[in-house]
Structure 1
Amino acid sequence: MTERARLVAAARDSIARGSKSFAMASRLFDRRTRERAWLLYAWCRACDDLADGQEHGHALAAVADPAARLAEIRAKTSAALDGRPTGDPAFDALGVVAAECAIPHHLAHDLIEGFALDAAGFSPRDEQALLRYCYHVAGAVGCMMAIVMGVPADDEAVLDRACDLGLAFQLANIARDLCEDDAGGRCYLPAEWLAEMDIPPGEAMRPMYRDRIAVLAGRLATRAAAFEGSARHGTPALRFRSAWAVLAAAGIYGDIAREVARRGSRAWDARVVTSKAAKLGWVAKAAAQARGRGRHWPVATPRPLAWVRPRSG
């Protein structure tokens, strides 16, 4: 087995353990794109796990040495981007995919800035601060994934749409994980939103405020839907199988935000998940959507969102 094949195998295992939704969607790519998507995912997952003391995205825990962990992420990432072996398969995977796809290094460093925000105890003051955070932890990944799919690194219009999908995913995550994040000492609801609902700092998930929090979770879901809708206008720039995978992932993840909103104050009684049957349904629907993507979501349509993605690291 070649070194690249070994890294791909490890990355395939990582996505299978870390995200059933993304694992299913990734199967729709052609082989080369699929392998590269796995390689990029493995690095993102490893960084996230290292920063948050998790195991493949599970069991968020406060870490005693966030600065040291952040320094390790920065050092290994820089080495990988420079083409130097790190001894860590996930970081070596980044080195391979970044070289093969000419991923701009600033995008990888933009993601790391998201981990730095969390290490510093970030909590957003307003919606713009929330969206900037979402860019760092997810929008930048959307941009890198688009480049893996063959989008030129200087095609800012399409990268904006790819970033929008990352933001949609992250907003859905935040809405779903409000209880888990609260238990880990984190709150990603803007302070202005909490004040508007008369919810004291640090008390967002107390039972007495659950109905009010449901209103804010619904707001997150509405924002997620807007970004998801914008992202779909980038799919005509992709090859069919890549568009199929993106549209399937958009539908699968979009269902998470929609279900959180539907459940209202009961959204956190049990973790919101998308069933296997629903995932397969989206795979089928996305195939039809991908065939008609140019007609349904013309790429020249003006982007309706006011938020602007950072153009450099």
Structure 2
Amino acid sequence: MTSDRAALVEASRKSIRKGSKSFAAASRLFDRTTRERVWLLYAWCRACDDIADEQDHGRAARAVPLGTRLAPQDRLATIRTLTELAMAGESTGTPAFDALGQLRREVPIAEGLVEDVLAGFALDATGWRPRSEADMLRYCYHVAGAVGVMMALVMGVDADDADTLDHACDLGIAFQLANIVRDVWEDDANGRCYLPEEWLAEADIPPGEVTKPHYRPALVPLVARACALAREYDASARIGAARLAFRQRWAVLSAADIYGDIAREVEKLGSHAWDHRVRTSRMQKLAFVWQAWREARRPPHLSETPPRPMPSRRELAELAHSHPVIRPS
């Protein structure tokens, strides 16, 4: 490993340890090469998130002096410029974006996948809100499903194996649905809502009032509906995981079990789900890693393949491409 690569890997390792204890724990189960590449990918994703939200590894950054905050479109332009430099093989001077450039020298990640991820940040920058369930899933595809496809490529899945990549996308979508239900209050505080407007209208919850106390009883069934979707995509993802090598399968199932617990806990808590941010303890994570090890050792029962959740990765990608986000000039 060259000194430059070693430095990028070390910076990426620190990033995932600071930004996501769940993903950091699951990443330890990979072989060394895969683990390092996962860190490189995570570092880029984390940096994009932080620039978009003016945060530090998902947490509020130090106070920004009045008048110096960048507009959302300017933050998006920064993300895009640094990403395009990295994709072109140029040094950006920013380790997290140089990590993407290093990763792309090692893994055949298509530019279209990277562009699909950036489109998710573009949706947020324009103040976009999902109108329908398909819109919500489209957003999940951009910010997590496409990353799941990139993760599968990092783990050695062939770029031509469309079916396995579809299942990898499904896991990312399941993860993002868990994020959406857990972060309803946090998102609302930031002026965002990722539950479909059509769902809210059906529940008689007015726009912008999703967190008002008297609407909690009406919100709970909508969250349960999103959790049910997450279970469908999670079940599909496990079919793809069964095709991976043992250590990759173990790591993926560990992450799926840990993240799946977030959605399960939110659903179980009902109207109390947002009294405190739902978290998974260290002991619970260890239990899920052990559970995933046992599951990974069992031969897959392909005859029990669940129905494929709809819309699929290709349908969501087509929806995204038929309704492109306008790039800033």
Q: Does TM, scored on the shorter chain, surpass 0.5?
A: yes
* Per-residue Cα deviation, 1:142-184 (whole angstroms, up to 9, x for no partner): 0000000000112110011000000000000000000000000
- Please name the residue that 2:5 is paired with: 4
Q: Alpha-carbon deviation of 1:299?
A: 9.2
Q: Alpha-carbon deviation of 1:59?
A: 3.1
Q: Alpha-carbon deviation of 1:75?
A: 1.2
Secondary structure (helix, strand or coil) at the match of 1:274 reads coil
Asked whether the 8 Å contact 2:85–2:92 carries over to 1, the reply is yes
Distance 2:140 2:147 in 1: 10
Corresponding residue to 1:184 among 184, 190, 194 = 190
- Please name the residue that 1:97 is paired with: 103
What 5-or-longer segments of structure 2 have no aligned partner? 322-329
Q: Alpha-carbon deviation of 1:64?
A: 4.1
Corresponding residue to 1:198 among 190, 195, 204 = 204
Counterparts of residues 95-244 of structure 1 (less than 5 Å): 95-244=101-250
* Per-residue Cα deviation, 1:166-217 (whole angstroms, up to 9, x for no partner): 0000000000000000000001110110011011111110000011111111
Distance 2:218 2:56 in 1: 32
**Structure 1 pair 7–202 and aligned structure 2 pair: CA distance change class (3 A):** same
Asked whether the 8 Å contact 1:151–1:237 carries over to 2, the reply is no
Distance 2:192 2:229 in 1: 20
Q: Alpha-carbon deviation of 1:236?
A: 2.2
Corresponding residue to 1:305 among 291, 303, 309 = 309
Q: Which amino acid aligns with 1:154?
A: D
* Per-residue Cα deviation, 1:211-237 (whole angstroms, up to 9, x for no partner): 111111111111111111110000122
* Per-residue Cα deviation, 1:249-268 (whole angstroms, up to 9, x for no partner): 00000000000000000000
Q: Which amino acid aligns with 1:148?
A: V
TM-score by length of structure 1 reads: 0.96
Q: Alpha-carbon deviation of 1:272?
A: 0.1
Identity fraction in percent: 59
Q: Alpha-carbon deviation of 1:102?
A: 1.1
Q: Alpha-carbon deviation of 1:301?
A: 3.8
Secondary structure (helix, strand or coil) at the match of 1:202 reads coil
Asked whether the 8 Å contact 1:43–1:93 carries over to 2, the reply is yes
Asked whether the 8 Å contact 1:48–1:57 carries over to 2, the reply is yes
**Structure 1 pair 140–218 and aligned structure 2 pair: CA distance change class (3 A):** same
Corresponding residue to 2:86 among 80, 84, 88 = 80
What 5-or-longer segments of structure 1 have no aligned partner? none
1:70 aligns with 2:76: yes
Q: Alpha-carbon deviation of 1:73?
A: 1.0
Distance 1:208 1:233 in 2: 41
Distance 2:86 2:188 in 1: 34
Q: Alpha-carbon deviation of 1:295?
A: 2.2
The worse-fitting range, judged by mean Cα deviation, of 167-176 and 50-59 is 50-59
Distance 2:162 2:307 in 1: 12
**Runs ≥4 residues deviating over 6 A:** none
Q: Which amino acid aligns with 1:217?
A: V
Secondary structure (helix, strand or coil) at the match of 2:59 reads coil
- Please name the residue that 1:270 is paired with: 276
TM-score by length of structure 2 reads: 0.91
How many residue pairs end up in the alignment? Answer: 311
